[in-house]
Amino acid sequence: MTLKQKISEDIKSALKSRDAVRLSTLRMLSAAIANKEIELRKKDIGLSDGEVIEAISSEVRRRKDSVAEYERAGRAELAQKEREELAILQSYLPPEIAEDDLVRIVKDGIREAGATSEKDFGKVMKVVMPILKGKASGDRISAVLKKELGQKSTQGLHDKSSDG
């Protein structure tokens, strides 16, 4: 069963159990998936599970942004509703990669790209994003990469000063 089919089945079960929040969230997700099919011109063949995960991730990001905005505006009840939707959406995503695995993949990417400073950030992201797509958020990858490149550039400074 594909992820899209699972979402369809879950819509039916939410209808039967009269779970309004789950039903509305899954219908919205189904619409987002349909829009992605149209956008990618895959209405006839459908999306792969990876592309469905991208659509879900996009909706998760929207919910996280909404929660932050509602909390800033002091709208706790709306923030709570978004959190409930967020939990439902996240249940369809694969578990995120462990921190030590993420660091290892980023370090491998730095070596592969031949990165020596923070200026090479884009090169490394091009290497690691295809590997980590759907396994870690771009924010997490970016934070680890900045930390690793920062350490690498400070090591480079220490190496140069000891040569002198």
Both tokens of 93, joined, read 């995503």
Q: What does pTM read for this prediction?
A: 0.68
- Residues 6 or more apart whose CB falls under 8 angstroms from that of 68 comprise none
* Residue 160 confidence (pLDDT) above 80: no
Amino acid at 139: D
Q: Phi/psi of residue 98, each to 5°?
A: -65, 150
Write the CATH number of the domain with boundaries 99-163. 1.10.10.410
Q: Give residue 31's pLDDT band: very low, low, confident or very high (50, 70, 90).
A: very high
Write down the mean pLDDT value for the chain.
Answer: 83
List, for residues 104-148, the tens digit of each pLDDT value.
988 888 888 887 777 888 888 888 888 887 778 778 888 888 888
For the chain, which residues make up each domain, given as ranges?
Answer: 3-90, 99-163
CATH number of the domain at 3-90, out of 1.10.3470.10, 1.10.1510.10, 3.40.228.10, 3.40.50.2000?
1.10.1510.10
